[in-house]
Amino acid sequence: MLIAIPDLIDAQGVADIRAIIDGAVWVDGNVTSGHQSALAKRNLQLPEDSEAARRAGQVVMDALGRSSLFIAAALPLKIFPPLFNSYASGQAFGVHVDNAVRLQAGTGFRVRSDLSMTVFLEDPAAYDGGELTIETHFGVQQVKLPAGHAVLYPSSSLHRVEPVTGGRRVASFFWLQSMVRDDAARQMLFDLDRSVQGVAGELGQDHAEVIRLTGVYHNLLRRWADA
């Protein structure tokens, strides 16, 4: 599933991140690439072990923890520490699939990449091109969101970043391992959760049907979750 998460980070949070990362030292983005990605990737990136990446990443992580939409959609078990990249002057990332397992450099921490996430950190009017293009079962989707908004999509998807032909595209990106490995099961749980919330809004949290549906949700989660 492909889900947009509006206003994940508010304007002040975006400003705080940009104040941290804009003056930092950026390196070739291929420092985190697999073999296939390295053939297609042209961008800059903050070193993942840098103080700037750590501090800015904590702002992103705090925002994720406050987002009920993110938690309902992703059912996160483990989140790779957020990374940051920059595209300008024709830089792009050609079509690729993310590595199945991501290992944090210098540690034993690893995640199975069930889902990928991009958090946009630049006003889309400030740069030309740079759309995140994702191939889905329903066709090609292009995503270019306001600063502070995010998109969540399966790591198994073919995707690319279109060339930036003017200005600078800045974003955070990372991967996560969901408690529910199967994308279709995760989609059903998300849809059921949204329906439960809708019915609860109409009938009240203590209505018998709301309690029944909530039980169905948790029993399915119990069946499918790896936690």
Structural domain harbouring 209? 183-224
Among 31-35, 75-79, 145-149, the minimum mean pLDDT is found in 31-35
Predicted confidence at residue 103, as pLDDT, reads 94
Q: Are 45 and 123 in the same domain? A: yes
Binding positions for 2-oxoglutarate are: 169
Q: Are 171 and 92 in the same domain? A: yes
pLDDT 10s digits, 1-12: 899 999 999 999
Average pLDDT over residues 207-227: 97
The structure's pTM equals 0.93
Predicted confidence at residue 105, as pLDDT, reads 86
Q: Are 148 and 218 in the same domain? A: no
In this structure, are residues 159 and 153 in contact, taking their beta carbons and an 8 Å threshold? yes
pLDDT 10s digits, 121-162: 999 999 999 999 999 888 999 999 999 999 999 999 999 999
**Average pLDDT value for the chain:** 95
Predicted confidence at residue 187, as pLDDT, reads 96
Q: Are 31 and 141 in the same domain? A: yes
Among 54-68, 97-111, 179-193, the minimum mean pLDDT is found in 97-111
pLDDT 10s digits, 152-192: 999 999 999 999 999 999 999 999 999 999 999 999 999 99
Q: Are 93 and 108 in the same domain? A: yes
Average pLDDT over residues 11-38: 84
Looking at residue 199, which CATH number applies to its domain?
A: 4.10.860
Q: Are 139 and 218 in the same domain? A: no
Last residue of a domain, one of 178, 199, 215: 178
**226 falls in which pLDDT band (50, 70, 90)?**
very high
Predicted confidence at residue 31, as pLDDT, reads 67
Q: Are 122 and 17 in the same domain? A: yes
Q: Are 139 and 208 in the same domain? A: no
Q: Are 142 and 189 in the same domain? A: no
Predicted confidence at residue 34, as pLDDT, reads 53
Query: How many domains is the chain partitioned into structurally?
Result: 2
Q: Is 197 left (phi over 0), alpha (psi -120 to 50) or beta?
A: alpha
Q: Are 174 and 193 in the same domain? A: no
Q: Are 171 and 210 in the same domain? A: no
Instruction: Name the DSSP class of 114.
Output: S
Binding positions for Fe cation are: 96, 98, 159
Looking at residue 92, which CATH number applies to its domain?
A: 2.60.120.620
Residue with the two structure tokens 């169905």: 216
Q: Is 186 exposed, middle or buried (0-12, 13-18, 19+ CB in 10 A)?
A: buried
Break the chain down into helix, strand, coil percent, rounded to 5: 35, 30, 35
**49 falls in which pLDDT band (50, 70, 90)?**
very high
Q: Are 128 and 213 in the same domain? A: no
Binding positions are: 96, 98, 159, 169
